[in-house]
Amino acid sequence: MPGDTDLLGAPNNTNLIKVQEMLDDNTSIEFIRLQWIDFTATVRTRIVTSRQALSLAAAGGTVSVASPIASCFLIDGQFHEVNAGAKDSLVPDWSSLTVCHYQPGHAAVMCCIDQAGRGFDHCPRSILKKAEQEIRDRHGMTFKVGIETEFYLTASPASTSPVKVVQSYSSTSALRTPYLVILEEAVRNIEKAGIPIWTFHAELVGGLFELQTDPMSALKAADALIYVQEAIKSAAVKHGLHATMAPKPFDKTHGVGQHIHISLSSGEKDDSFLAGVLSSVPAISAISMPNYDSWLRRDFAGGDWVGWDVESRTASIRKLRKAYWEFRFIDATTNTYLTLATILGLGMGSWEKGKELKAKPMSSWPSTLDEKGRQEAGVENAAPKDLKDAIEALRRDEAIHAVLGKEFCERYIRYKEHEKQMMGELTLQERRTMTMALF
């Protein structure tokens, strides 16, 4: 067992009680999913029986997997790197144990990754958990995070169009269709798991819908997102359809985002927090919009220039009120643990220094700003045009290196460069089919 008990959750007897109580309350549960998220943002799963889960919880046990499991595979399943002489361990965080109401007989627990016995420095979930705890201990600061999950309903991952629905933003007409039952079923299963849904509605174009969770801690929000996505996809499959969160699944329709709302427990120096994130948006994009085709929805992720505004939904960041923002340069191909850890780390690093926010609200569509308009708004950074630009920005951004660790960033960059090369060899439709199947 690794010695980092702060990352493993409660003592073993508490873990055993947690698992036993869940099984006693849900006698139909036979299987426990051990889940983790790697650099592809793919949800990966090992399944154990309920009997084996009790043994793991009682002994503080782990499950061995290939090393380095966080970056072992590319998005298409090819090997990126493998250490044949080592193994990683999946360490269940039993406090995250949840009944999978969308899959009878199953429950799920999120795992942290101990890399070849060397600790958790390259585990995305552990990075976020550590960041949130350190900020709370050092500054007494907490965060509330709510996540918007947008998705299309379509016939299959190979489809070239969504289901046909005449709709517009929040239109009731989209609810007078056979598809409402899918949303209702997903929401019921999510709520049964103790994940509160704030709202759900039809989005801008036919077949596009959105669910938004209530605010919760950063780690809980990232864990909950995985459950939300699985509940939506499972409900769609049950009704003979496919749900996709891919960033740009179809040529002639709106892109798909995964906007994240973050609020601070204190409004003090909130402009400094914003300044720290804003200055690194190009580099964060390599993590928050990491898919080869994330950039096909670029206009709705902030456009040509990095800026913020109060009302405009075309800015990279929208300030909703004091110490509360919507971060829009994010899609569902991100590893949300990494994106949240990066945003919180950058923001709080700037908050500590009292960094001045020089940028003013960007009231115009970013792509329409001329040089004078950019100067007046204090806009300094152009947004990346593609994944290559974003990776180069990450390579140069010392602030992110300080947050995530230079070694981690170098490893992530090598990984994304390999993935970019592989994806670039495919046709657009081949990439779309793959991305729609996974996300």
Domains assigned to the chain: 5-120 (3.10.20.70), 133-438 (3.30.590.10)
Within its chain, how far is the Cα of 216 from the centroid?
Answer: 14
Asked whether residue 81 carries a pLDDT value surpassing 90, the answer given is: no
pLDDT at 101: 98
For residues 366-382, give the mean pLDDT: 72
pLDDT at 174: 84
SS3 category, 89:
strand
Dihedrals φ, ψ of 358, to 5°? Answer: -90, -30
pLDDT at 239: 97
For residues 246-253, give the mean pLDDT: 92
Pick the range with the lowest mean pLDDT from 52-56, 158-162, 294-298, 335-339: 294-298
Asked whether residue 8 carries a pLDDT value surpassing 60, the answer given is: no
* pLDDT tens digits for range 173-226: 888 888 999 999 999 999 999 999 999 998 888 899 999 999 999 999 999 999
Enter the tokens of residue 287: 């993590």
Is the CB of residue 290 less than 8 Å from the CB of residue 334?
Answer: yes
Q: 297: pLDDT confidence band, cut at 50, 70 and 90?
A: confident
Would the pTM count as exceeding 0.85?
yes
pLDDT at 367: 64
Better-scored residue on pLDDT, 254 or 152: 152
Pick the range with the lowest mean pLDDT from 14-28, 197-211, 352-366: 352-366
Is the CB of residue 107 less than 8 Å from the CB of residue 101?
Answer: no
Which stretch of DSSP H or E encloses residue 148?
strand 143-154
Q: What is the Cα–Cα distance from 302 to 397, expressed in whole angstroms?
A: 19
Q: 96: pLDDT confidence band, cut at 50, 70 and 90?
A: very high
Asked whether residue 100 carries a pLDDT value surpassing 80, the answer given is: yes
